[in-house]
A and B are shown apart, each in its own frame.
Chain A
């Protein structure tokens, strides 16, 4: 009951006119920033941080959290409409969101994304309200072996994503992981894999460079070549009635993915160093594995949009938990929020809930209000995004190329990276011609920087003994499940081949 009373106070604080105004502005700004390829919540929060010094700390954090929320909703928009994941958290949304858009069902994809995000956010808010201190202590029991086991589980789900050609999928995963290790060895600090001794590689290869190259350039070239440049959009005009029908269809076909994403996303989001990206990827993989029609995934199923979207919203709320209760930021955005809190004179940590209870509960209350505001604002803007898709392809495609290049530069500030985008794009086009799945490479470059240090730290802890991943109570079961999931597609293929030989 005490929690409910604190929550009611928090919601009332969030509903004060100044805070409500900041929530609406924050969500709208976040939505559009998140929808731009190359820009994410971190840009919005960083740029608008100085403005927050004009208002009290509780209003300031509410504003920044609203931007964070809006950007999470916005990430799905570029994944669906442009086919480019604007942020790593929206990579998995592209897998089914883009095929739905190409089938003329972009409105269904966007409505599904909005509703799944809302449910994911709400479930996460309830977990956050009820179990914050308990979950924070559980998250602390995750050391390097447990995090690496979790990464192994995420990679295991990729093998299932790559289709039947397992060697090409394995190549793609290893390729993404090697690209992630270019630049500097994070442990010894020495330069590593500076390809062809070009100094630009010292900066490493960012996720966004590969993602924009593969999806923004390679996928566009492939679409133009396959459709002979005569692609015509079939997205109908949006009406309120059409949106209601889409909402019904989204609820009917996306409930399973939404449920998996909401729960799994939150728990992965809570873990320090994990965050929303592994949460959304794992939710997509698990939803596909648990589906009765796994073959529909990748071809445009609302469940494939719902799972990662519910998960990334749920995980982004979950990522706030270690930041507030332990002072550990789980993502660049929460790191900036943490910095802001320190500047406002607040000390994140276990005492925050006691010493600054009005601030904490105001923030939690604002999560609920921001979530509702984000849903309403997102749904209101869907007709605008659909209108974009009704442009002739010969106008839309150069706009996508321009946004890819501009977004690529905005994210990295490097001409070297722009050339890499072009090279990756043309390379991806040819690899696509020979059925190399490229999504696993993009996912691997995102998770590589988490997986490598945790593997090395774990082996250092165990003096080089790899059984550390099997003997620890949390890491052991996760590792075993991951290995089973890796072997399962190979076993299925082997059985199918034997059946063909026998018949």
Chain B
């Protein structure tokens, strides 16, 4: 935990420096007749972020926070597995949207989560993985008239059938 806290503060300080540099694309000072420049607000706030990181590092050095006094690891095996399997599953869900459409990605994600992470029965898994995307299709495309991504062209026959039902 101790090493993690200072590493995170260092990363955030670097990000703050990047934001300060990026903010200088626009004027960061006061322009006579025009008021503060476009970079004024993000530049000074990024400086605030950087200064906060320096104080966080100072507190870490003095052992003021619980994390800075802890020698425990950041996460055990279960924690890392959770981040990889659940966080990775959500990332894969988003990646699949451009391939199999939003509704296809929902079905695959629910199947993966319910069957492999939740260890639920086939009936419940397949039931939810099929019914929820269809229900969401009618809610968003029919009732709310919000179009979701349709993925690659091979999904089109499915959408043609579904749109025939709505219209």
The chain A residues found within 8 Å of chain B, CB to CB, are: 39, 43, 47, 165, 167-168, 170-171, 174-175, 177-178, 181, 185, 187-188, 190-195, 217, 220-221, 224-225, 228-229, 392, 394-395, 397-399, 401-402, 405-406, 409-410, 413, 415, 418-419, 421-422, 425-426, 429-431, 433-435, 452, 455-457, 459-460, 464
Chain B residue with Cβ nearest A394: B118
B30, CB-defined interface residue at 8 Å: yes
Asked whether, in the complex, the Cβ of B114 is within 8 Å of the Cβ of A395, the reply is yes
Q: A193-B42, A405-B90, A406-B140 are in contact. Are A435 and B66 (CB under 8 A)?
A: yes
Chain B residue with Cβ nearest A393: B118
B123, CB-defined interface residue at 8 Å: no
Among B46, B83, B109, the residue within 8 A (CB) of A221 is B83
Complex interface: chain A residues within 8 A of B4 (CB): 433-434
B128, CB-defined interface residue at 8 Å: yes
Complex interface: chain B residues within 8 A of A415 (CB): 94, 97-98, 149
Bound CA–CA A433/B128 (angstroms): 32
Complex interface: chain A residues within 8 A of B23 (CB): 192-193
Bound CA–CA A456/B31 (angstroms): 11
Chain B residue with Cβ nearest A408: B94
List CB contacts (< 8 Å) of B30-51 with chain A.
30, 34-42, 45-46, 48-49
Interface-central residue, A221, A225, A435, A464, by most chain B CB under 10 Å: A225
Complex interface: chain A residues within 8 A of B157 (CB): none
Mind listing 28 A-B residue pairs with CB under 8 Å?
A: A43-B144, A47-B144, A165-B65, A167-B52, A167-B55, A170-B48, A174-B46, A177-B41, A181-B42, A188-B26, A188-B38, A191-B25, A193-B25, A195-B22, A225-B75, A392-B118, A394-B119, A398-B114, A401-B109, A402-B106, A409-B148, A415-B97, A422-B90, A422-B94, A435-B66, A455-B36, A456-B35, A459-B36
Complex interface: chain A residues within 8 A of B59 (CB): 167
Among A188, A395, A431, the residue within 8 A (CB) of B8 is A431
Complex interface: chain B residues within 8 A of A192 (CB): 23, 25-26, 38-39, 42
**5 tightest CB-CB pairs across the interface, nearest first?**
A394-B118, A460-B35, A185-B38, A171-B52, A398-B113
Chain B proximity of A431: nearest CB distance (Å): 7
Bound CA–CA A188/B38 (angstroms): 7
Bound CA–CA A460/B38 (angstroms): 13
List CB contacts (< 8 Å) of B49-88 with chain A.
49, 52-53, 55-56, 59, 65-67, 74-75, 78-79, 82-83, 86-87
Complex interface: chain B residues within 8 A of A464 (CB): 30, 35-36
Chain A residue with Cβ nearest B112: A398
B145, CB-defined interface residue at 8 Å: yes
List CB contacts (< 8 Å) of B76-131 with chain A.
78-79, 82-83, 86-87, 89-91, 93-94, 97-98, 102, 106, 109-110, 113-114, 117-120, 124, 128
Complex interface: chain B residues within 8 A of A418 (CB): 94, 97
Interface size on B, residues (CB 8 A): 67
Chain B residue with Cβ nearest A185: B38
Asked whether, in the complex, the Cβ of A433 is within 8 Å of the Cβ of B74, the reply is yes
Bound CA–CA A47/B8 (angstroms): 44
Among B12, B78, B83, the residue within 8 A (CB) of A429 is B83
Among A168, A187, A434, the residue within 8 A (CB) of B52 is A168
Asked whether, in the complex, the Cβ of B41 is within 8 Å of the Cβ of A217, the reply is no
Asked whether, in the complex, the Cβ of B102 is within 8 Å of the Cβ of A406, the reply is yes
B152, CB-defined interface residue at 8 Å: no
Asked whether, in the complex, the Cβ of B65 is within 8 Å of the Cβ of A435, the reply is yes
Chain A proximity of B1: nearest CB distance (Å): 8
Interface string of B130-167 (1 = CB under 8 A from A): 00100010001000111011000000000000000000
Chain A residue with Cβ nearest B132: A402
Asked whether, in the complex, the Cβ of A456 is within 8 Å of the Cβ of B52, the reply is no
Complex interface: chain B residues within 8 A of A430 (CB): 8
Asked whether, in the complex, the Cβ of B35 is within 8 Å of the Cβ of A459, the reply is yes
Among B34, B117, B144, the residue within 8 A (CB) of A410 is B144
Asked whether, in the complex, the Cβ of B87 is within 8 Å of the Cβ of A426, the reply is yes
Asked whether, in the complex, the Cβ of B40 is within 8 Å of the Cβ of A456, the reply is yes
Chain B proximity of A52: nearest CB distance (Å): 16
Bound CA–CA A452/B119 (angstroms): 50
Bound CA–CA A399/B25 (angstroms): 42
Bound CA–CA A351/B120 (angstroms): 63
Chain B residue with Cβ nearest A165: B65
Bound CA–CA A194/B18 (angstroms): 12
Bound CA–CA A192/B118 (angstroms): 44
Bound CA–CA A425/B36 (angstroms): 33
Asked whether, in the complex, the Cβ of B42 is within 8 Å of the Cβ of A217, the reply is no
Bound CA–CA A190/B113 (angstroms): 44
